[in-house]
Amino acid sequence: MPFERNHEIDYFLKGEEMQMVEIELDPQETVIAESGSFMYMDGGIDMQTIFGDGSNANQGFLGKLMGAGKRLLVGESLFMTAFTNQGVGKQRVAFAAPYAGKIIPLNLEKLGGKIICQKDAFLCAAKGVSVGIEFQRRLGTGLFGGEGFIMEKLEGDGMAFVHAGGYVHERTLAPGEALRIDTGCIVGFTGGVDYDIQFVKGIKNAVFGGEGLFFAVLRGPGTVWLQSLPVSRLASRILSYAPQTGGRREEGGLLGGLGNLLDGDGY
């Protein structure tokens, strides 16, 4: 799929556990972002809501509608926000991470032109980068993929920025090398990596292991980015400390869970 040449932007990452990215734009350069990530901008920058991601401007309204409409399937908006330098000289706009973790800069031109990432990982990108939906072909992935089933794809030759929770681990997979991962721990991977869902073998593992029943299998060649603290895991731990209206506090995991089952509370 051909893409227009993306805008070339400079950037500065700031912070440690709560990071932000400051984008430096030359006159008429634009960066696009999801709503809710904006932090601040210089006076010469114009902010405008656009339909879709602003890539492939010549594809017509119907093409834009179909591309943007896919985002509704994963709870994303039809619209994005474009920040353009309408002033004289360089201007800066900044975007903040939504929770503790790291911002990962991705040069798509050096990464094969395509990155597949968790649907809530995308932060911002140079105008011209296409932000779409990556549908998995396998039925098992569709039924059991959970967080990792429908993912976003970033395509183009410009800079894109994604956010990860906790510590970020970058892993390069050789051809045929496989890595089994909790689906929520995947931030993204390059386009050449094969992705599937696998059942956790063994009834004891499934019932008493405390992990999910399925994990993702990524097979190289390519690069994979992993996060140590998915936001879903963080939210689950916080909820476990919330005041209990019924049943037992989940201390001890297995015993607390069996106690709730015996009480008729279930899961």
List, for residues 69-128, the tens digit of each pLDDT value.
Answer: 555 555 555 678 999 999 999 999 999 988 889 999 999 999 999 999 987 899 999 999
| 230 pLDDT higher than 50 | yes
| 260 pLDDT higher than 70 | no
User: Measured in Å, how far apart are the chain's first and last C-alpha atoms?
Assistant: 45
The span from the CA of 202 to the CA of 27, in Å, is 60
Rounded to the nearest integer, the mean pLDDT of the chain is 79
- 120: its two tokens: 């809530």
DSSP state at residue 156: S
The pLDDT of residue 8? 86
CATH topology of domain 10-243+254-261: Double-stranded beta-helix (3.60.160)
38-69: pLDDT as tens digits: 999 999 999 998 876 666 555 555 555 555 55
Beta strands in the chain (DSSP E): 10-14, 20-25, 30-33, 38-41, 45-51, 79-85, 91-96, 101-107, 114-117, 122-126, 130-134, 151-155, 159-165, 168-173, 178-181, 186-190, 194-199, 214-219, 222-227
**Residue 250's pLDDT band (cuts 50, 70, 90):** very low
Q: What is the mean pLDDT of residues 143-169?
A: 80
**Residue 7's pLDDT band (cuts 50, 70, 90):** confident
Residue 263 vs residue 134, higher pLDDT:
134
Q: What is the mean pLDDT of residues 205-212?
A: 48
Assign 200 to helix, strand or coil: coil
**Residue 146's pLDDT band (cuts 50, 70, 90):** very low
239-249: pLDDT as tens digits: 888 776 555 44
